[in-house]
Structure 1
Amino acid sequence: MTIKPVLVRPVPDTEPPLISAEEAYRPPPPQPYAQAALALDFTVDPEDDSARRPTLRSQLPDPRPFVAKIAQAIIEVIAAQRPAPQLIRHTSPAIYSGLARRAVVAARRQPTGPRRPAVVRRVRVCEPADGIVEACAVVVAHGRVRAIALRLEGLDGRWLVTQLSVG
């Protein structure tokens, strides 16, 4: 049996080197100014679903039938006769959350028994700009006559409700 010799190595110094007080408070040498360019692309990615793209009026369907249908749907959601998620595709997030809250409140105090469906009596449409529609509708629902004012914007090839007022 042979014994191998033991190899002895010194322990490396792990402490950082000491800096004198003069070196510690000396300002760094001036660097030449260079403006670096950021790699930003401001074009809209067609695969990006989060970016909404405005649509021209010529590329959108006639707003009058849409206003009549969405007004009836809004009244039915407020009366808890229609589920609110049916409107999520046609409303902005702020409008949808307000409608969903009103639907929850209406569901708590909904009377029992059959109710007559809402009927849209009249629709008025005004187009103040290309791809923008301001409309109002008169709706008869459950023995009440109500007015709905809404603003539609053409986004992503369809109408989207961005402002809503129910009287």
Structure 2
Amino acid sequence: MTVRFTARPTAHPHRRPRDADGCDPAGRRPRHPRAACAASPGPDSPGPDSGALAARFAHRLVEVLTGARPSGQLMRHTSLAGYGQLASLVRAGALRRGGPADRPRLGPVHDRSPAPDAVEACVRVDLGRRHHVVAFRLEQRGPAGQWQCTAVEAR
């Protein structure tokens, strides 16, 4: 019995070819999962991705405040002071549900950037017949520039 080895193609058939620097032939860079958080917004005007960042965090924050998500899941996304504020809001039941059928509905997230590495946002949350407002501040921290929640308020 004779076994023949055939040469494998050098490129994956479903992937676009890349240059040595990681660009495809059109000159576009590959998208990294955290690319949305990499852009720095200008002073007093939110960057193109700060609104999406604030909306994603607002959704997760409201889930924690209503008890649908454990608060420990946001621990690595908050500073020590921010987590302390979040934990006290959860203990106090800042966003209590009226019943099991009451699902939180988030209004539009309003955000602004007071500094290039900070985003302040607020969102209206409707829980049945009750309305609440949640405000928070996100800051880029650490050598990797990870966004962390440094302050939370709910009324």
Q: TM-score range by the shorter chain?
A: 0.5 to 0.7
Q: Which residue of 1 aligns with 2:64?
A: 77
State whether residues 125 and 136 of structure 1, in contact with CA within 8 Å, keep that contact through their aligned partners in structure 2.
yes
Report what 1:146 is aligned to.
132
- CA–CA distance in structure 2, aligned partners of residues 122 and 57 of structure 1: 22
Distance 2:99 2:105 in 1: 19
Give the direction of change, closer, same or farther, for the CA distance of 1:104–1:121 in structure 2 (3 Å limit). same
Contact kept in structure 1, 2:125 and 2:134, CA below 8 Å: yes
CA distance in 1, matches of 2:97, 2:123: 25
The question of whether the paired residues in 1 share the 8 Å contact of 2:124 and 2:131 is answered with: yes
Report how many residues are paired: 109
Could you tell me which of 90, 97, 122 is aligned with 1:136?
122
Question: Residue 108 of structure 2 aligns to a residue in which SS?
Answer: strand
The separation in 1 between residues aligned to 2:68 and 2:117, in whole angstroms, is 31
Question: What residue in structure 2 maps to residue 94 of structure 1?
Answer: 81
1:118 to 104, 128, 137: 104
Quick one: distance in 1 between partners of 2:77 and 2:60?
11
Q: CA deviation at 1:94?
A: 1.7
Mapped to 1, the partners of 2:72 and 2:102 lie a distance apart of 22
> Which has the greater radius of gyration?
1
- Is the partner of 2:102 in helix, strand or coil? coil
- Measure the CA separation in 2 of the matches of 1:62 and 1:71: 14
Distance 2:84 2:118 in 1: 22
Rounded Cα–Cα distance in structure 1 between residues aligned with 2:54 and 2:73: 15
Q: Percent identical across equivalent pairs?
A: 33
Residue type matched to 2:107 in 1?
R
The answer (yes or no) to whether the contact 2:66–2:97 under 8 Å persists in 1 is no
| Structure 1 stretches lacking a partner, 5+ long | 1-54
Flag structure 2 segments of 5+ consecutive residues without an equivalent: 1-37, 42-46
Structure 1 residue runs of 4+, over 4 Å off? 110-113
- Is residue 72–residue 118 contact of structure 1 (8 Å, CA) maintained in 2? no
TM-score normalized by structure 1?
0.54
Q: Is the 8 A contact 1:56 1:130 kept in 2?
A: no
Corresponding residue of 1:161? 149
Residue by residue, what CA displacement relative to the aligned partner does 1:1-31 show, whole Å, maximum 9, x if unpaired? Answer: xxxxxxxxxxxxxxxxxxxxxxxxxxxxxxx
CA distance in 1, matches of 2:113, 2:105: 24
- Report the alpha carbon displacement of residue 112 of structure 1 after superposing the two structures with TM: 9.4
